[in-house]
Amino acid sequence: MSRVGQKIKEARTKMGISAKEFAKKIGTSESFILDVESGRKIINEDMIKKIEKTYGISLSDNIFEEIDKPVENLKETATRKMVNKQWEDAFSNIIKKIPVTDINFKEIFEYKYYPVIDKKIEGFNADKITYINAPDDSMRGFRIQKNDNIML
């Protein structure tokens, strides 16, 4: 049963009107009203507005009333192990160390290691790749949130 259908049924029974009388006043068939109440059919917006206007009831859902406090999604960051300097030097020509910096390129947060294949990293020139850490949620429309790493 849909929420709108449930609200229509509650309002109709509260007023003491049969489904046939209810449907006749809004200009539909009794079977359509019964199907909407049982959840077999979906009622369109125009019909909802017509019911609200005719009977003076509110069928719109206030979804935001149920939320008490905002939920904040935080990513857990894994602690990275320190790489042995000797191993880092040994693989320096095949594994590139790319810094993750702030937006002004002043502070380095961490390093990412990528394999160099044909002098390229993921299809881009290995010398021109850098990462920045998103400072806030201002690019949320592009699905980039706070503390996301953005490859440049």
Q: Where are the domains of the chain?
A: 3-65, 85-151
Check pLDDT > 70 for residue 81. Answer: no
Architecture of domain 3-65: Orthogonal Bundle (1.10)
pLDDT at 66: 52
CB-based contact 89:66 (threshold 8 Å)? no
pLDDT at 97: 85
pLDDT at 80: 62
Rounded-to-integer distance, Cα 84 and Cα 98, Å: 16
Check pLDDT > 70 for residue 63. Answer: no
Rounded-to-integer distance, Cα 126 and Cα 119, Å: 6
Quickly state the pLDDT bin for 75 (edges 50, 70, 90): low
* Average pLDDT estimate for 10-25: 90
* Average pLDDT estimate for 37-43: 89
* Average pLDDT estimate for 26-52: 89
- Nearest to 25, CA basis, from 61, 50, 5, 45: 50
Check pLDDT > 70 for residue 64. Answer: no
